[in-house]
Amino acid sequence: MKLSKTMFSLVISTTLSVTAMADEPIQPVQAASGINTAQAELGKKLFFDPRLSRSGFISCNSCHNLSMGGTDNLTTSIGHKWNQGPINSPTVLNSSLNIAQFWDGRARDLKEQAGGPIANPGEMASNHEIAVKVLQSIPGYRKDFEAAFGTEHIDIDKITQAIAEFEKTLKTPDSRFDQWLKGDKNALNETELAGYQLFKETGCTACHYGEAVGGSSFQKMGLVQPYKTENKALGIYALTKNEADRYKFKVPTLRNVELTYPYFHDGGAQTLSEAVSTMAKIQLGKDMPQDQVNKIVAFLKTLTGEQPQFTLPILPPSVDNTPRPEPFK
C-alpha cells in the first residue's frame, strides 16, 4: 500500500514536471553526448596549446578561459602583440548550441570557427600551414592524431575537428534554474522566481529562449532605441551588405551569464544590472525600475551550471625540428 502511494505520487510529479517544462520557453541543458573521446581528448590539448599561435603565447583558452566561464572577462580581447580585438569574446560554454559561430554567425559551426583565430593576424597570428607543420613535427601529437583519426597525417581539417569535438563537451548542465525546471521547486527562491516571471513578461524570452537561453537567432542591437557605442562592428551587415542587417548580431546565450561579464558585443556593460537595464530600454522600450532589474539579475544568476571538470592537459613537447614561436618578430 505504501509502495503504490509512492509510485502514484512519482507519476504525478513526473507528469507535472513534464507539463511545466513543456510550457516554459527555456529547456534544461542536456549533458554532452555522442562525443568521440579520442578526438575530444586531442582537442583539449590543442585548445590549451599556445603553439597554435605565432607567438607561442596565445591559446584558445587565453580568450575562452575555461577557468572563467569560457571567456576572458575583458571588454574586447588581447591578441598577437597586444592587439586590441574588435569585439567581446563570446563564451565557448554551450557554444555547440549556437545557430552559428562568431557574433555575426560567419562560421557555420564550431569546426569552421576554430580555424579563424589561428590565422587571424590580430588574434593568434599564425596560419594553417605553420600550425600543421608544428603539430606534425611533435611525436606526441602524431600519436594522438593516430588514436583520434587513424592516421598520423595531420591537416587543418583534423585539427579543427578535434578542437570542435572538445568544445562540444563544454556543456554546463544542472544549474539551479534547470533543477527547478526539472521539478525541484525549492531550487529557486522567491526573488529568483519573480525575476523569471519578469524575464518572461517583459519579453526577454522573445530572443533568449531554448536550451541555451539565446544563441538561436540573430537580432538587431538597438531594436527600439539605437545602441550607443564606439565599437565599429556592423553585425551581419558586414557579410550581406543588406541594410536591414546593420547591427544585427547573434543573440548571446545567457547560460553562465554571471561568469561571462562584461556584456554585449562591445563588452560595453560591466555589470548584469547595467546589461538588463539597457536591454529593457533599447530592445523592448521599457524603463525598468531597479527593483525589477534586481529580480531579473537574481534569476540570471541561477543559470550558472556545472563548469567543465577535467584534468589540466599536459602537452607533448616540441622536438629539435619543431618550428619555434616568433613572439617579437
Instruction: Determine whether 146 is an active site residue.
Output: no
Is 252:214 a contact under the CB 8 Å cutoff?
Answer: yes
Total Cβ atoms within 10 A of residue 213: 29
Is 71:91 a contact under the CB 8 Å cutoff?
Answer: yes
Residue 161 Cβ, how far from its own copies at the closest point, in Å? Answer: 21
Which lies closer to its own copies via its Cβ, residue 220 or residue 295? 295
Which lies closer to its own copies via its Cβ, residue 62 or residue 245? 62
Which lies closer to its own copies via its Cβ, residue 61 or residue 235? 61
Residues 6 or more apart whose Cβ sits within 8 Å of residue 119: 126, 127, 128
Report d(CA 123, CA 73) in Å as an integer.
Answer: 16
Residues 6 or more apart whose Cβ sits within 8 Å of residue 286: 202, 280
Which lies closer to its own copies via its Cβ, residue 235 or residue 292? 292
Residue 9 Cβ, how far from its own copies at the closest point, in Å? Answer: 37
Is 93:256 a contact under the CB 8 Å cutoff?
Answer: yes
Residue 69 Cβ, how far from its own copies at the closest point, in Å? Answer: 7
Residue 277 Cβ, how far from its own copies at the closest point, in Å? Answer: 13
DSSP 8-state code for residue 200: H
Element (H, E) at 219: strand 218-220
Instruction: Kindly report the length of the chain.
Output: 329
Phi, psi of 209, deg, nearest 5: -135, 175
Residue 62 Cβ, how far from its own copies at the closest point, in Å? Answer: 7
Is 281:225 a contact under the CB 8 Å cutoff?
Answer: yes
Cis peptide before 313 (omega within 30 of 0): no
Which lies closer to its own copies via its Cβ, residue 53 or residue 113? 53
Residue 296 Cβ, how far from its own copies at the closest point, in Å? Answer: 15
Give the interface with its own copies as residue ranges (CB under 8 A).
48-51, 55-57, 62, 65-69, 72-74, 78, 81-82, 84, 258-259, 261-262, 270-271, 273, 307-315, 317-318, 320, 324-325, 327-328
Report d(CA 290, CA 89) in Å as an integer.
Answer: 28
Which lies closer to its own copies via its Cβ, residue 51 or residue 220? 51
Q: Which of 283, 288, 272, 275 has its CA nearest to residue 248?
A: 283
Of 41, 123, 165, 192, the active-site residue reads 123
Report d(CA 285, CA 287) in Å as an integer.
Answer: 7
Total Cβ atoms within 10 A of residue 233: 18
Catalytic positions: 123
